[in-house]
Chain A
Amino acid sequence: MIMAAATLAILAVMGMVLARALLGPTVFDRILAVNAFGTLTVILIAVAGFLAGRPEFLDIALLYALINFIGTIAVTKYVVNDFLGERDAEHNWTDL
C-alpha cells in the first residue's frame, strides 16, 4: 500500500523531471534533469523491488547509481570541452 503510493509519486516526479529535460533552455538544464532522472530511477527500482516482494533488484539500483554518476560527469565534460580525450596541440582544456 505504502509502496504502491510511493511508486506512483516517484513516477509523477519522473514525469516532471523528464519535462524539464525536454524543455530546458540550456544544455545544462537537460544534463541536470537527466541526472535527477537517474537518481529517481534508483529510487524506483528499490521501491518496486519491495512492492513486488523481491528486493534482490537492489544490485541493479546500485549499479545504476554508479553509471549515472560516470555518465553525467562524462557528458558535462564532453559538452564543455567538445571532446573526451587527452590534451593535445589542437584541443586545449577549458580550465574546469
Chain B
Amino acid sequence: MTVLLDILTALFVIPGCVLLLIGGYGMIRLTDVFERMHAAGLIDTLGLTLVMVGLMFQGGFTLITFKLFLVIAFVLFTSPVVTHALARAALVANVVPKARRLAPDELMQDGATIDTGNGEITDGGQTGPGGAPSNS
C-alpha cells in the first residue's frame, strides 16, 4: 500500500516538476512581459496543483491534505487576479505587447501599432522598428 502511494506521488510530482522547469525556462527565454505571464501561469496553475496533489497521497486523510487543498484553491483563485491586474497595469503604462492583435482596442494608446489581420501592420510611429517598449 505504501509502495502504491509512493508510485502515485511520483506520478503526480514528477510531471509537476517538469512543468515547473518548463515555466522557469519560459521566464528566461520569452521576450515580452505578456509572454512571460504565460510562463508564470504554467508555474502557478498546473505545476503547483500537480505537486500538491502528489503530496496529498503522502498526507492521507488528515488535516495535512486539507491544508494542501486550501493552498491549491487559494492560488487558483489569486493567480488569475494577479495576472489580470499586472497585464492591465502594463497596458496602461504603455508597454506595447508583441502580439498586438491580442490587445483590446480601447486599451491601446495613441500611436501604438495595431495588426489589422490581413498581414499589414499600421504603425503610428511611436515605437521603433523592433517594436521594443520605450519605457524602462
Contact = CB atoms under 8 A, between A and B. Distances in A.
Interface size class of A (residues with CB under 8 A): 35 or more
B135 A33 contact: no
Contact of A16 (B25, B79, B93): B25
Interface in B49-88: 51-52, 55, 58-59, 64, 67-68, 70-71, 74-75, 78-79, 81-82, 85-86, 88
A35 to B, nearest CB: 6
A39 B52 CA distance: 12
A13 B71 CA distance: 20
B51 A46 contact: yes
Interface residues of B, number: 49
B95 interface: yes
19 contacts: A2-B9, A2-B14, A9-B20, A12-B24, A13-B43, A19-B28, A28-B89, A33-B27, A39-B48, A40-B43, A55-B64, A58-B71, A72-B86, A73-B85, A76-B89, A79-B93, A80-B92, A95-B92, A96-B89
